[in-house]
Amino acid sequence: MNMSVITDTIAPHGGTLINRIVTEEQKAEFLAQADSLPKVQLDKRATSDLVMIAIGGFSPISGFMGEADYQGVVDDMRMADGTVWSVPVTLSVSEEVAAPLKEGSLIRLDNPEGKFIGVLELTEKYTYNKTHEAVNVYRTDEDKHPGVKVVYEQGAVNLAGPVWLLEREAHLLFPTYQIDPAASRAIFRDKGWRTVVGFQTRNPIHRAHEYIIKCALEIVDGLFLHPLVGATKSDDIPADVRMRCYEIMMENYFPQDRVILAINPSAMRYAGPREAIFHALIRKNYGCTHFIVGRDHAGVGDYYGTYDAQEIFSQFKPEELGITPLKFEHAFYCTRTEQMATAKTSPATKEERIHLSGTKVRAMLREGKTPPPQFSRPKVAEELAKAMSGQG
C-alpha cells in the first residue's frame, strides 16, 4: 500500500502509515475459520486499540506489544528499536484464557458484544508486573486512579502479535466525523495545509480552550479539532453531548474553512505527561505538525504537576518526536481587560482572574447552574445545561 502520495504535511511516526484492515479476500478466509479459531473477547479499550492499530493511528505499531517493546515503553518510553512511545498497547487476558492459546496460531478477537471483529497472529504470551506498570506509566500505585484501576483489573497475561481488523465500520453516533489518518492526510493536502495543529479534548470546549486554540491558529494553516470518543470516566460529559458542543463552536466561533472536526476513537488512559506524548504521536499519524499541550494535559485528580505534561517533551530530541508541541499556560478570563488571557499577556491580580476548568463546569451543571459567559459561550452553556438536566 503506497502511502507516499498523502504524506505532504509530516511523515507518520516511524515513517510508514500502518494499515491492518483486511482485504475482502482475507476477510472471507478469516470468516470461513470463525468457528474453529480460539476466541478472546475484547473490552472497550482493547477494541479501541485494535481499531487505532488497524487504521494507522498508533503507527508504527502493527499489533499488541510483545514483552521487549512493553518493557521498553514502561521503563524508558521507547520500544525495543529505540522508537519513542510512551504508553503500552497490550492485550491482557486471564491465565485461564491464555493457557490453551498456542503461539504461532491465529486468535479470533470479538468485541464486547461478542461480534467477530479481528484476528491476532499470536507470537508471544508473557506475564508482567502490574504495580511496576502503574508506577512508571501513571506515577502512582493507587487504584483510585482510573488508569491504574484498569491495569489492576485486567488479566495477568499479555497476548502479543500483529492484528487484523475485519472491517472498518461506520461509527454509530458520528459517522460523518470518522476521518481516519489516511483520509485526514488527504484532506490536509487537498486544502494545501502544510502546518496543522491538533487539539485533544475529552471535555466540551470552554473559553480557555477556545483562546489557546485561536492563539495556535494564528501561526498554522489549519486546526484539527480531534475530540476523544473512546472509553472515558463515568463522570466525563457523554460523547454525544460534547460533539453537539463542538458543532456549535464550529458553526459560530471558528473560521470553518480552517478547521476540521473529527473523532479520535482511542480510549483515555488519564496518564498525564505520558499521555501527552501519546496524544501528540497519534496526531502526528493523522498528519498534524503541531500539537497543543495545555495545563494538566490528560490529568486526573492531583497526580500530576500543572505543567508536567509540557516538561516531558524536553526529554526527547525534536526529531525523535517529529511533531512540535505548543505549550500554553493556564488561560483565564481577565476582568480588568475583559478578555481571555494568560499570565504572559494579562496584568491582572489574582482577584481579577476567573479560572475555568472542565471540572468546574461539570460541577456547576450538576448543581443545575448554567456556566457564565466567561466560562462557556452561551450557546454551548445552553446545550450543556439542557443535556445535563435530562432534557437533551
Strands of 259-261's sheet in order across: 259-261, 222-227, 196-201, 290-293, 324-327
Decide which of 140, 165, 190 is a domain's last residue. 165
Residues 228-252 have a mean pLDDT of 84
pTM of the complete model beyond 0.75 = yes
- CB-CB contact of 85 with 61 (8 Å): yes
pLDDT recorded at residue 232: 67
Decide which of 116, 144, 165 is a domain's last residue. 165
pLDDT tens string 243-254: 999 999 999 999
CA distance 385 to 367: 10
Residues 112-139 have a mean pLDDT of 98
**Radius of gyration of the chain measured on its C-alpha atoms:** 21
Residues 337-354 have a mean pLDDT of 93
**By residue range, what is the domain housing residue 68?**
22-165
CA distance 216 to 119: 41
Confidence of residue 2 (pLDDT cuts 50, 70, 90): very low
Q: Is residue 56 part of a domain?
A: yes
Residues 27-48 have a mean pLDDT of 96
Instruction: Name residue 238's amino acid.
Output: P
pLDDT recorded at residue 359: 72
Confidence of residue 7 (pLDDT cuts 50, 70, 90): very low
Residues 135-139 have a mean pLDDT of 97
Q: 60: cis peptide before it, omega within 30°? A: yes
pLDDT tens string 311-323: 999 999 999 999 9
Cell of 65: 506489544
Higher pLDDT, 392 or 182: 182
Say yes or no: 182 and 315 in one domain.
Answer: yes
**What's the number of domains the chain is made of?**
2
Could you list the active site residues?
Answer: 202-203
Residues 298-307 have a mean pLDDT of 84
Say yes or no: 40 and 186 in one domain.
Answer: no
Rama region for 100: left / alpha / beta (φ>0; ψ in -120 to 50; rest)? alpha
Say yes or no: 85 and 233 in one domain.
Answer: no
Say yes or no: 223 and 368 in one domain.
Answer: yes
Decide which of 165, 196, 225 is a domain's last residue. 165
> Residue by residue, what is the 3-state secondary structure of the chain?
CCCHHHCCCCCCCCCCCCCCECCHHHHHHHHHCCCCCCEEECCHHHHHHHHHHHHCCCCCCCEECCHHHHHHHHHHCECCCCCECCCCCCEEECHHHHCCCCCCCEEEEECCCCCEEEEEECCEEEECCHHHHHHHHHCCCCCCCHHHHHHHHCCCEEEEEEEEECCCCCCCCCHHHCCCHHHHHHHHHHHCCCCEEEEEECCCCCHHHHHHHHHHHCCCCEEEEEEECCCCCCCCCCHHHHHHHHHHHHHHCCCHHHEEECCECCCCCCCCHHHHHHHHHHHHHHCCCEEEECCCCCCCCCCCCCCHHHHHHHHCCHHHHCCEEEECCCCEEECCCCEEECCCCCCCCHHHEEECCHHHHHHHHHCCCCCCCCCCCHHHHHHHHHHHCCCC
Question: Residue 204: is its pLDDT beyond 70?
Answer: yes
Question: Residue 281: is its pLDDT beyond 50?
Answer: yes
Q: Is residue 16 part of a domain?
A: no
State the sign of the Cα–Cα–Cα–Cα dihedral 323, 324, 327, 333: negative
CA distance 81 to 76: 12
pLDDT recorded at residue 390: 62
Q: Is residue 13 part of a domain?
A: no
Which residue, among 275, 277, 283, 295, has the nearest Cα to 225 in the 3D structure?
Answer: 283
pLDDT recorded at residue 295: 78
Say yes or no: 151 and 182 in one domain.
Answer: no
pLDDT recorded at residue 6: 42
pLDDT recorded at residue 48: 95
Cell of 180: 481516519
Say yes or no: 139 and 203 in one domain.
Answer: no
Higher pLDDT, 324 or 3: 324
Confidence of residue 228 (pLDDT cuts 50, 70, 90): confident
Higher pLDDT, 102 or 205: 102
Confidence of residue 8 (pLDDT cuts 50, 70, 90): low
pLDDT recorded at residue 184: 98
Say yes or no: 156 and 193 in one domain.
Answer: no
Confidence of residue 71 (pLDDT cuts 50, 70, 90): very high
Say yes or no: 119 and 192 in one domain.
Answer: no
C-alpha torsion 141→143→145→146, nearest 10 = 130
Instruction: Name residue 58's amino acid.
Output: F
Higher pLDDT, 115 or 363: 115
Say yes or no: 119 and 193 in one domain.
Answer: no
Q: CA angle, corner 266, sides to 392 and 239, nearest 5?
A: 5
* CATH code, domain with 383: 3.40.50.620
Confidence of residue 202 (pLDDT cuts 50, 70, 90): confident
Say yes or no: 83 and 130 in one domain.
Answer: yes
Say yes or no: 49 and 71 in one domain.
Answer: yes
Say yes or no: 133 and 189 in one domain.
Answer: no
Highest mean pLDDT among 2-11, 188-197, 295-304: 188-197
pLDDT recorded at residue 203: 79
